[in-house]
Structure 1
Amino acid sequence: MTMFMNACAFLFRVLTLPLHVAELVGILSFYKRVFPIIVNKVTFSYNDKMKDKKRELFQNLDKFYSTKGSLRILEVGCGTGANFEHYPTGCKITCIDPNPHFKSYLEKNMAKNDHLVYDSFIVASGENLQAVKDSSMDVVVCTLVLCSVKDTPRVLQEAKRVLRPGGAFFFLEHVVSDPSTWIYFFQHVLQPLWYYFGDGCETTRATWKHIEAAGFSDLQLRHIHAPLFFMIKPHIVGYAVK
């Protein structure tokens, strides 16, 4: 089965070779403008299907208020602001995303969720949070972000750096399936095409291993099967305390 899977994956890599070349020479840069439009449309469906899971996860935010009053949240890879409706009233939100074209959609969600206080929108990758001070956040949030970052351990270390002692890293991510499943097979076979459709998204990452190895003092992590397209059914959800 492994040999057949690798052969199929190789075939898809060959078929997507023109896309790879186009990316190398910069022709695909226009997709950075198109991708927020796609995400904005997909978000409505994802949020509807995952509403209960998100509500359950973010109910734990109340545990991490600091003595400074409002809950300070840094959302890495904020996208269109799909999580805002689940944050407690009065939270102070700092948003970071490497794609500046998300800003217009983000502003619409900010206006819709006026129970929050918005600090700033920073154009940066999760691996480079230099604009955020050490120990300045109560919570860092990543949802559907660690599937596409270039260096997952680096993102997690940056999250730990900006969190205050006792602060928490919240996550909700799709991950690779069990190797005995057909989902695992198709995740690996279709990954070369999925990468370009998802602007760098990878379905074959065992992200939980990086979180477990990141050195948090406490980790609450669950594996779940989400009611979504089969390629992204396997998810992990939880939070890790600095």
Structure 2
Amino acid sequence: MAKVAPIYSRKVYKQKQKLFSNLSKFTGPSGQLTLLEIGTGTGTNFQFYPAGCRLTCTDPNPNFRKFLLKSLSENRHLELEGLVVASGEELRQIPDGTVDVVVCTLVLCSVADSKKVLTEVLRVLRPGGAFYFLEHVAADHSSWTYFWQKVCDPVWKCFGDGCSLSRETQEELEKTNFSELNLRRFRVTPYWIPASPHIIGYAVK
């Protein structure tokens, strides 16, 4: 992931830049944006976060720490509050209603229970806080892309650490009790590549 993430990030740079451009509007009463990133990985999103942002990073892989610390050394405009080794389904170390923004990019495709992750997101967000997401998702069920997603899924999961090509993340977001959902679909790569269909946006608690 440390090698692949920068390549992918270059492909979605403009989309991420636009997505995260309004993060500051969710700054809470403290005057500093409190941000929790689920599945931080190597920290490819850090460059998009506003100066003075108070950041807590979580990832189930303990080996993320050395890559994350390197990224933090290159993004000194951020204030690190904590590094938590935990899955997105089990964020017990984060108290209820204490976070202004939760960020999750390319994570919901591989978690064991995306519904449980979204439940945890709602729990830790303060009222009026926002959940930012960027995920590859299932294609339209009548398309050839979806056909190839289902064909490739077993092997993809094996080599992609549980990543599913046909996860219905948009449906899960629509079912979750957010007060507002801003979402659009786009393609990162040519239509025939199974991981091409994506969703991007943010939801408000």
TM-score (norm 2): 0.97
Give the alignment partner of residue 233 of structure 1, picking from 193, 196, 202. Answer: 196
Match of 2:106 in 1: 144
The alignment partner of 1:100 has SS state of coil
Write out aligned runs for 1:158-237 (5 A). Answer: 158-227=120-189, 230-237=193-200
Correspondence for 1:135: 97
1:163 Cα offset (Å): 0.4
CA distance in 2, matches of 1:194, 1:169: 27
| Distance (whole Å) between structure 2 residues aligned to residue 45 and residue 182 of structure 1 | 26
Q: Residue 182 of structure 2: SS of its match in structure 1? A: strand
SS at structure 2 position matched to 1:93 = strand
Higher helix share: 1
Residue in 2 that maps onto 1:96: 58
Counterpart amino acid of residue 234 in structure 1: P
Give secondary structure in 2 for the equivalent of 1:67: coil
CA distance in 2, matches of 1:186, 1:205: 13
TM-score by length of 1: 0.82
Residues in 2 aligned to 1:47 and 1:132: alpha-carbon distance in whole angstroms: 28
CA distance in 2, matches of 1:156, 1:215: 9
Q: Unaligned 5+ residue runs, structure 2?
A: none
| Alignment correspondent of 1:63 | 25
Name the CA distance, whole Å, in 1 between partners of 2:184 and 2:105. Answer: 14
Tell me which of 47, 50, 53 is aligned to 2:12. 50
Specify the code of the residue in structure 1 equivalent to 2:201.
G
SS at match of 2:104: strand
Q: For the residues of structure 2 that align with 1:223 and 1:134, how far apart are their CA atoms?
A: 31
Distance 1:104 1:146 in 2: 23
Report the residue type matching 2:146 in the other structure. Answer: Y
C-alpha deviation, 1:241, in angstroms: 0.3
Supply the distance in 1 between the matched residues of 2:179 and 2:201 (Cα, whole angstroms).
14
The share of aligned pairs that are identical, in percent, is 51
Shift of 1:179: 1.9
Indicate whether 1:126 and 2:126 are aligned: no
Asked if 1:83 is matched to 2:45, the reply is: yes
Q: How many pairs were matched up?
A: 204
Identify unmatched segments of 5+ residues in structure 1: 1-38
One-letter amino acid of the counterpart of residue 236, structure 1:
I
Deviation at 1:70, TM superposition (A): 1.1
Q: Post-superposition shift, 1:210?
A: 0.5
Letter of the 1:78 partner, please give it.
T
